[in-house]
Structure 1
Amino acid sequence: EMNTTPLIDVMLVLLIMFIITIPPITHAVEIDLPVSQPEETPPPPVDPVINKIIILPTNEIQWNGTPVSLDQMNQYLLQTKSMSPEPELQFQPAPNATYDIVDKALAIVKGSGITKFGFVGNEQYRVFGKAARPGN
């Protein structure tokens, strides 16, 4: 009489190997769902942590990346001054911006009474490797 136990064991191992190697059957039903268009809301004009005034080479003034006039900048500065705690104000003029527009912007900043103020982007004026001397 033949021993069938090893044959059954081999058959079970082969069956398990086939079950594992068969990719899972996925049933996909394609449905076109409506996509909602998010309304692009502009960022709030005054950030409660850090605000940045940039003066571009074209003499355009930007408040946190949004073009503004000197009057709008003054209004934003007054809103900033009334916040508690007062957010930091960063000022970054372009190297080739007109002195007149930079001076007017700084006068408005000074008149607003902002206490947390700093210049950023000064590294663009640094001379690498040599001291900045006339004629170099």
Structure 2
Amino acid sequence: MAFGGFDQGDTRPLQSDINMVPLIDVMLVLLIVFMITAPLLTHSIKIDLPQASSAPNQEKPETVTLALDEAGKLYWNNEALDKATLPARLAAAAARTPQPELHLRADRGTRYEVIAEVMSEARNAGIEKMGFITVPEP
């Protein structure tokens, strides 16, 4: 950097730019330091791990089919069921481990209100997985 003196006879303008050479020198020194120390930080310990060849044990949960016909009758795994005993059956199924999946199978003419009530009772009993069974069109 240039500094102006007290002499008024100097007609050169003042220099106000930053001298970049010292900053570049510092940057190059830091780059060299990091290039030397980086390989030293990645030390690893070689260990001989045991090999295991077992597959995870996955159990398929049992499925419970709950059918609803157009008249509002319920069928638990193809057995006739009263509406009064449905909450007890759902609670017993929810208490099992692993919990079975509930598959709902309803007639085309079944009212949505009945299906919604059954789904609500199943959710209140603690059934986690529910699904609908449909017939695909040919």
TM-score (normalizing by structure 2): 0.51
Secondary structure in structure 2 of the residue aligned to 1:70: coil
The AA in structure 2 aligned to 1:77 is L
Please state how far the C-alpha of 1:72 moved relative to its aligned partner.
1.1
- C-alpha RMSD of matched pairs (Å): 1.8
Task: Give the one of 51, 62, 65 matched to 2:64.
Answer: 51
Q: 2-side partners of 1:119 and 1:66: how far apart?
A: 18
TM-superposition CA deviations, 1:66-119 (whole Å, max 9, x none) = 111223111111001111111121111111012222221111112112112211
Question: What residue in structure 2 maps to residue 70 of structure 1?
Answer: 83
Task: Give the one of 81, 102, 105 matched to 1:89.
Answer: 102
Q: 1-side partners of 2:130 and 2:115: how far apart?
A: 15
Secondary structure in structure 1 of the residue aligned to 2:88: helix
TM-superposition CA deviations, 1:43-72 (whole Å, max 9, x none) = xxxxx7111100012221111111112231
Unmatched runs of 5 consecutive residues or more in structure 1: 1-47, 129-136
TM-score (normalizing by structure 1): 0.51
Does the 8 Å CA contact 1:70/1:105 hold for their aligned counterparts?
A: no
Secondary structure in structure 1 of the residue aligned to 2:99: coil
Secondary structure in structure 2 of the residue aligned to 1:71: coil
The count of aligned residue pairs is: 78
Task: Give the one of 110, 121, 128 matched to 2:134.
Answer: 121
Question: What residue in structure 2 maps to residue 33 of structure 1?
Answer: none
Identity %: 18
Flag the structure with larger Rg. Answer: 2
Question: What residue in structure 1 maps to residue 20 of structure 2?
Answer: none
Task: Give the one of 73, 77, 88 matched to 1:60.
Answer: 73
Unmatched runs of 5 consecutive residues or more in structure 2: 1-60
Does the 8 Å CA contact 1:51/1:63 hold for their aligned counterparts?
A: yes
Does the 8 Å CA contact 1:61/1:68 hold for their aligned counterparts?
A: yes
